[in-house]
Amino acid sequence: MLIEILREKRDNLIKGWQGAVRETYPKGNRIKFTQRPQEFNDPIGHLLNRDLPVLVDLLLDGDMDKPELQAHLEPLCRLRSVQDFTPAGAMGFVYAMKKLVRESLSESELNEPGLLAELLAFESRIDRLAMYAFDLYVSCREELFELRANEARRRSELIVQHFAEHGKEAFTERVDPPEGEKPAVTNGHEGGEA
């Protein structure tokens, strides 16, 4: 019974969820949401329009193990993993669906026999979605940290290689500034060593 009620309210749930995600971004943020988001002019809006409707349908169907779930949840998690969110802030958008579902139900609907048990079962689907989203988020963060570590390692190797090829002189040779600029001050003396 609950699923049938929610299917009738599907479009409002999607719009509400999209709005809840947008609200997680600071006011006056440089991110501008557009009316017709496309992948490059509004990547967040594009993902919200493309992926949240599918996630709502998967929640309504109750099939939380489909590869389709990962295909539509991972882009949101990946995007939010590189933005300025705490882990809870980044993945908290999933729980907004619980509030939207409860607010969409009238008091008479909530008083229907058996509906409360169905609501709790539906909310456990949302909890599973949130746990899966957090796993994806952590995986994306680990990938980001690995990329950063590899870049730092690569830079260190280049410095060592440069030192091995050019010796101590590679780091102490004087480099004249471009014409018209003052020479750099090193060790308190203009132009390098005293």
Number of domains comprising the chain: 1
Which band of pLDDT confidence, cut at 50, 70 and 90, is reported for residue 118? very high
Alpha-helical regions (H) of the chain: 2-8, 10-22, 43-61, 67-81, 87-91, 96-104, 107-110, 115-166, 169-172
Is residue 128 included in any domain, yes or no? yes
Q: Structural domain of residue 33, as residue ranges?
A: 2-149
Summarised one tens digit per residue, pLDDT across range 8-27 is 999 999 999 999 998 998 87
Checking if the pLDDT of 147 tops 90, the result is no
Is residue 194 included in any domain, yes or no? no
Checking if the pLDDT of 28 tops 80, the result is no
Is residue 165 included in any domain, yes or no? no
| 104-109: long-range contacts, CB 8 A cutoff, minimum separation 24 | 104/6, 104/9, 104/12, 104/13, 104/16, 105/5, 109/5
Summarised one tens digit per residue, pLDDT across range 90-114 is 999 999 999 999 999 999 998 899 9
Tell me, what's the pLDDT at 141? 86
Is residue 157 included in any domain, yes or no? no
Domain of residue 95, CATH code: 1.10.490
Tell me, what's the pLDDT at 99? 96
Is residue 129 included in any domain, yes or no? yes
Tell me, what's the pLDDT at 37? 64
Tally Cβ neighbours within 10 Å of residue 92: 17
pTM for this model (two decimals): 0.72
Rounded percentage of the chain residues whose pLDDT exceeds 90: 49
Is residue 33 included in any domain, yes or no? yes
Summarised one tens digit per residue, pLDDT across range 42-81 is 788 889 999 999 999 999 999 887 789 999 999 999 999 9
Mean per-residue pLDDT over the chain, rounded? 84
Is residue 61 included in any domain, yes or no? yes
